[in-house]
């Protein structure tokens, strides 16, 4: 095991922020009430959840009644896509069409595909260009009046590319009046203000562990007046939109993490962006045949680099052995690395789609982390090209 390690996989999950840990500790020890009861312990838990809801709502720029807590980003995406679509479908005679980008996270893409499969609804997957940005013309073309739900991610999870959300939302409103608009903002939350997103989209998903909160908790912002059919039925928690006893400790920790993330965003973005730029410049200079996928369109914490002639599956393991934790894109349930559907949808071939490494930086990333990456990556790439 190398003495020093650098963790550059913040897009997978981030270290817990101290504020989040402090916030949740009481609910892992003394406090244990069920927020739905009517006695002392319950009231205390309910108060904690409501305070957290207020905080999260504030950072999302919505009313507290518009926040639905979930078990994470995937559940929020499922609730948005299926719940939003079903509410629209209830008022139509034929199954409404679905529109999403072809570079969505699997939580959206596979949900749309399953829904289309199960209901016979028409699913339109809109491709992205070589820069990782959704094709605006194809998007506008897909957004027709039959569409009942559109979903487009704010920031791509493999590349970090920011989508032209205002324009995409506008095109969807114009072409598909009556459609519910969803954006998966899971990777956006650490880097861009969420207020504009909830202004443009009816439904916005976030996940706590991408911004220093714990795993297993997330939220869906649901604009007042937006129809949403529940997926989990039961005790009617979260205003009947998501039954099940709330994860109190997780929720209060998410609120604390989001609060700190948003407060630090402007300075944090500058700091992390400078580190990312140093990383990219260093590697581009020292490793021949390096290409930055989606350069110029990315949030500060991301760079997806392709090293020509190198298999990312082997590269990740060798970098791990050298003390650097990075990711080779999406992993399937068995743990195997799959060729990136994002790069394939952007027109890269299978070899290119398996030659990329995602470096993702975050709130704990330091100069030393970048130094370590700059010192180990060139050797390892050279060894694999040998």
Partner 1 sequence: MRVLVAMSGGVDSSVAAALMADRLGSERVVGATLKLWGGDSDSGCCSVADVDDARRVADQLGLVHHVFNFAADFEERVVDPYVRGHAEGRTPNPCIECNRHLKFDRLLDRAADLGFDAVATGHHARRTETPDGRYRLCRGADPMKDQSYVLAMLGQDQLGRVVFPVGELTKDEVREEAHRRGLRTAAKPDSQDVCFIRTDEGRAGFLGDRMPLHGGRMVDHRSGEDLGSVDAVELVTVGQRRGMGHSGDGRRRFVTAVDVPARRVMLGPPEAACAESVALDTVTWVDGDPTVAARGGTALVAQCSAHGRPVPAEVSVISGVSGGLMVRFATPQRRVAPGQTVALYDTRRPHEVVGSGIAR
The burial class, CB within 10 Å (0-12 / 13-18 / 19+), for 93 is exposed
Annotated active-site residue in 100, 143, 298, 332: 332
SS3 2: coil
Q: Is the dihedral of CA 266, 258, 295, 8 positive or negative?
A: positive
Q: How far is Cα of residue 250 from the mean position of the Cα atoms in its chain?
A: 18
Nearest approach in angstroms of CB 259 to partner 1 is: 38
Tokens (6 digits) for 269: 């973005």
12 or 384, CB closer to partner 1?
384
CB atoms closer than 10 angstroms to residue 285: 11
CB of 333 to partner 1, least distance (A): 5
Q: Minimum Å distance from CB 325 to partner 1?
A: 14
Measured from the CB atom, the residue of 222 and 353 that comes closer to partner 1 is: 353
**Smallest distance, Å, CB 309 to partner 1?**
12
| Sequential DSSP letters for 81-146 | IIIHHHHHHTTSSSPPEEEEETT--HHHHHHHHHHHHHH---EEEE-B-TTS-B-HHHHHHH--TT
Nearest distance from C-beta of residue 113 to partner 1, angstroms: 16
From the CB of 307, what's the least distance to partner 1, in Å? 13
Catalytic site includes residue 112: no
Site for partner 1 in 284-343 (CB under 8 A): 313-314, 317-318, 321, 332-339
Structure tokens, 168: 């995409």
With respect to partner 1, which residue has the nearer C-beta, 110 or 338?
338
Question: What does the alpha-carbon distance between residue 30 and residue 19 come to, in Å, rounded to a whole number?
Answer: 18
CB atoms within 10 A of CB 277: 13
Query: 365-384: which residues touch partner 1 (CB under 8 A)?
Result: 383-384
Helical H runs in the chain?
18-24, 40-60, 73-78, 84-89, 106-119, 136-142, 165-175, 195-200, 248-286, 312-321, 341-345, 350-353, 367-385
φ, ψ at 101 (rounded to 5°): -85, 155
- Site residue total, partner 1 (CB under 8 A): 16
Chain contacts with partner 1 (rule: CB under 8 A): 313-314, 317-318, 321, 332-339, 350, 383-384
Catalytic amino acids?
332
């Amino acid at each position: 095991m190398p003495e020093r390690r650098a963790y550059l996989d913040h897009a997978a999950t981030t270290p817990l922020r101290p504020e989040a840990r402090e916030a949740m500790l009481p609910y892992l020890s003394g406090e244990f009430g069920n927020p739905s009861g009517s006695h002392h312990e319950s009231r205390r838990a309910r108060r904690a959840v409501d305070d957290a809801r207020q905080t999260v709502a504030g950072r999302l720029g919505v009313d507290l009644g518009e926040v639905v807590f979930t078990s994470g980003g995937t559940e929020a995406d499922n609730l948005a896509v299926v719940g939003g679509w079903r509410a629209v479908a209830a008022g139509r005679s034929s199954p409404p069409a679905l529109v999403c980008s072809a570079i969505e996270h699997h939580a959206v893409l596979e949900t749309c595909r399953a829904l289309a499969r199960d209901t016979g609804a028409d699913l339109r997957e809109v491709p992205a260009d070589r820069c990782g940005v959704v094709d605006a013309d194809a998007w506008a073309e897909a957004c027709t009046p039959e569409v009942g739900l559109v979903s487009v991610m704010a920031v791509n999870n493999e590349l970090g590319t920011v989508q032209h959300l205002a324009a995409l939302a506008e095109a969807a409103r114009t072409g598909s009046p009556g459609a519910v608009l969803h954006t998966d903002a899971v990777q956006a939350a650490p880097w861009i203000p969420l207020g504009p997103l909830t202004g443009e989209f009816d439904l916005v998903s976030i996940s706590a562990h991408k911004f220093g909160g714990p795993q297993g908790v997330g939220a869906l912002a649901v604009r007042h007046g937006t129809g949403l059919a529940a997926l989990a039925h039961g005790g009617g928690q979260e205003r009947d939109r998501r039954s099940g006893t709330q994860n109190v400790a997780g929720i209060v920790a998410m609120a604390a993490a989001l609060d700190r993330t948003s407060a630090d965003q402007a300075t944090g973005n500058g700091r992390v962006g400078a580190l990312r730029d140093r990383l990219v410049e260093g590697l581009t200079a020292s490793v021949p045949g390096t290409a930055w996928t989606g350069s110029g369109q990315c949030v500060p914490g991301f760079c997806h680099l392709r090293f020509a002639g190198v298999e990312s599956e082997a590269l990740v393991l060798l970098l791990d052995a050298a003390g650097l934790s990075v990711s080779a894109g999406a992993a399937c349930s068995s743990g195997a690395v799959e060729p990136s559907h994002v790069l394939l949808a952007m027109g890269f071939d299978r070899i290119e789609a398996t030659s990329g490494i995602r470096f993702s930086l975050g709130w704990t990333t330091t100069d030393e982390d970048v130094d370590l990456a700059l010192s180990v990556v060139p050797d390892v790439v050279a060894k694999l090209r040998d």
